[in-house]
Amino acid sequence: MAQSIIGKNGTESPEPVKAEVTGCVPEWLQGTLLRNGPGLFKVGDTEYNHWFDGMALIHSFTFKDGDVYYRSKFLRSDTFKKNIQANKIVVSEFGTMICPDPCKNIFSKAFSYLLAAIPDFTDNNLINIIRYGEDYYASSEVNYMNQIDPMTLDVIGKMNYRNHIALNMATAHPHYDDEGNTYNMGTALMRFGMPKTMFFPSPDKEHKKPALQKVKQVCNIPFRSTLFPSYFHSFGMTENYIIFVEQPFQLDILRLATAVFRSVNWASCLKYDKEDITLIHLVDRKTGKAVSTKFYTDALVVFHHINAYEDDEHVVFDMITYKDSNLYEMFYLANLRKETHEFIESNMVNFSPPICQRFVLPLTLDKDTPKGTNLVRLKDTTAKAVMQKDGSLYCLPDTIFEGLELPGINYKFNGKKYRYFYGSRVEWTPHPNKIGKVDIVTRKHIEWIEEDATPLSLCLLPHQELWRRMMVDYMKYLAVNLVTSHPHYDNDGKHLQHGTSIVEKGKTKYTLFKVPATTAGGQLQRTLSSQTDGRDPNRTHSQEKFPSATSLKVVDISGGCGAMYEVHIESNEFKGKRTVQQHQLVNQALKEEIQGMHGLRIFTDIPRE
């Protein structure tokens, strides 16, 4: 990712733009790909400090009968409206604390703040788009969500978890079952009783709206510390069990409750105790009761679970772990703007790489088993669960892969035994530089890389008919957001061009789409077209202009194949000319034929200056 565009404001394209198609998009590819993330970092003369502070920009690619349509909009949250109205940042975010107005009697609010423990957070939901019943919500990890129309991207409602279930916060990574139920976990603090984690499902589509009207609580998991509840970003789920990892990466409740008065940001209220242990809670989904066995492992930090399943009286779960909690430090904008070598040289803190680890929990055990015995009987893993004197099991992980984050799987295999997972390679920099696909059975992997490009996120879209016929872990599509650092324009200086020869099993072919638009900061953009207060739509945005373009590519990676087609969303602002550079999109690593490793790759390609 170009450091020159990090933290620059994006703009939106509120009306759908039809791509100019050259070639053929498979007609059976139908539906809309939604993406959410930070897109507005400066308001007036004020600027956010952290990547996870930026105001949400939602964009969509709609595939219909061989055509592709694109649109994007800033999430019209209350936070967005307040900031735009004031022409400055007035609502605190994860890494940016806004001091209270000294004219207000903030001490009169002290008691209510301390009672709630968690002050009223922002509703800037920039992490994910999640579904409850038939409703879609922009979500982060706070109690608020904004309901959006998935077609227009307009905000059509606002939901507060507290009105439906006693929670302060909930994850932005729920699970879904085949019946349409949504399962999520949240944290209850202070006014909602002793700190605990709660697991709750939302009824399926049959219950229609409102989506959370019939939400019910399945279980409570008390935290071991009242003042330092564990932070969690996701959780694991199998057909019969919930996996909650209570890590020693914790919220400091007193620090959080007084953050406003001390003018420290929310990020500083997280602490990591490397000398502590990590508890693993296994809860029966049907009874809501925790398994009586105590499972634990060494101190670690986890943000993303990959998958979990049951196998021969064992629960197996995979997740991306870290040896420290320094990851969030990487995403301060000051760090993101540094080149990799500068970032490494200027930071005295060691940043541990992400590690994919497998843990195995035996479901049956004899308390008379001798101390030191490994109770894991599975032959396809080196993970251990060692009996301790007190009857607890000390879990030692099986390391599968190192350096992969933002994992994704074929969701048809969520909660089931699976073979492949995907993600973005991360190597000593906050900027991932490759896409990886890992075969858990063979422990082999393939990688895809494009020069000066940064993959952001991926979405896996299985080919339904092939999956139904083969009943294997078969991927037809891999959707990946990608940021590119150098635009490749044709001679008129306006149209981005990819003239690469793409090989697919000995054949060369590609399809190209072109539509006008601009991009920045990893988001698809156009200038705001409307303001509720009649202000100049440009006044809250950076006036710096830079050439940019976005492309959506589909690449068959079944045997090292290349791009099937591309969608380009271009800038109308660039007046200069660039030399066309030819890229080789197919990395040599993709040429290895791996049985069953099929798929198409869709990604967003955003050049920089």
User: For 554-571, what is each residue's pLDDT tens digit?
Assistant: 444 333 333 333 343 333
Question: What ranges in 461-596 are assigned the alpha helix state H?
Answer: 464-470
Question: Within this chain, do residues 201 and 118 fall inside the same structural domain, yes or no?
Answer: yes
Ranges of beta strands (E only) in 116-208 are 128-132, 135-139, 144-148, 155-160, 169-170, 175-176, 182-188, 196-202
pLDDT given at position 332: 87
Question: Within this chain, do residues 284 and 323 fall inside the same structural domain, yes or no?
Answer: yes
Residue span of the structural domain in which 388 resides: 228-331+355-402
Average pLDDT over residues 375-387: 98
Question: Within this chain, do residues 327 and 362 fall inside the same structural domain, yes or no?
Answer: yes
Q: Which residues contact 79 (CB under 8 A, 6 or more apart)?
A: 55, 91, 122, 123, 124
Question: Within this chain, do residues 207 and 258 fall inside the same structural domain, yes or no?
Answer: no
Check whether the bond before 210 is cis (ω within 30° of 0).
yes
594 inside domain: no
Contact predicate 215/185, CB 8 Å: no
154 inside domain: yes
Rg (CA), the chain: 24
> Quick one: tokens of 219?
């279980």
Question: Within this chain, do residues 196 and 261 fall inside the same structural domain, yes or no?
Answer: no
Contact predicate 300/321, CB 8 Å: yes
Exposure on the CB side of residue 196, measured as CA atoms within 13 A = 14
Contact predicate 266/92, CB 8 Å: yes
Contact predicate 233/320, CB 8 Å: no
476 inside domain: no
Q: How many CB atoms lie within 10 A of CB 578?
A: 17
Q: Cα 41 to the chain's mean position, in Å?
A: 19
Question: Within this chain, do residues 250 and 270 fall inside the same structural domain, yes or no?
Answer: yes
Whole-structure pTM value: 0.78
Count of domains for the chain: 2
Question: Within this chain, do residues 392 and 280 fall inside the same structural domain, yes or no?
Answer: yes
Q: Side chain identity at 71, as an amino acid letter? A: R
Model pLDDT for residues 192-249, shown as the tens digit of each residue: 555 567 777 877 666 556 677 778 888 888 888 888 999 999 999 999 999 999 999 9
**Distance between CA 392 and CA 284 in Å, rounded?**
18
Question: Within this chain, do residues 250 and 363 fall inside the same structural domain, yes or no?
Answer: yes
Of 437, 553, 574, 558, whose CA–CA distance to 496 is shortest?
574
Q: Which residues are annotated as a binding site?
A: 173, 233, 304
pLDDT given at position 450: 64
Question: Within this chain, do residues 154 and 277 fall inside the same structural domain, yes or no?
Answer: no
pLDDT given at position 22: 58
- Confidence bin at 349 (pLDDT 50/70/90): low
**HEC profile for 455-474?**
EEEEEEECCHHHHHHHCCCC
Domain's final residue, options 203, 222, 241: 222
Of 69, 77, 68, 87, whose CA–CA distance to 38 is shortest?
77
Domain's final residue, options 402, 418, 436: 402
Question: Within this chain, do residues 213 and 263 fall inside the same structural domain, yes or no?
Answer: no
472 inside domain: no
Q: Which residues are annotated as a binding site for Fe cation?
A: 173, 233, 304
- Confidence bin at 507 (pLDDT 50/70/90): very low
Q: Mean pLDDT for the chain?
A: 72
pLDDT given at position 380: 95
Model pLDDT for residues 28-39, shown as the tens digit of each residue: 678 888 889 899
268 inside domain: yes
Question: Within this chain, do residues 176 and 301 fall inside the same structural domain, yes or no?
Answer: no
Domain's final residue, options 341, 373, 402: 402
**Distance between CA 379 and CA 313 in Å, rounded?**
13
142 inside domain: yes
Question: Within this chain, do residues 201 and 324 fall inside the same structural domain, yes or no?
Answer: no
Q: Cα 311 to the chain's mean position, in Å?
A: 28
- Confidence bin at 64 (pLDDT 50/70/90): confident
501 inside domain: no
Of 567, 560, 562, whose CA–CA distance to 604 is shortest?
567
267 inside domain: yes
**Bridge partners for 72 per DSSP:** 13, 59
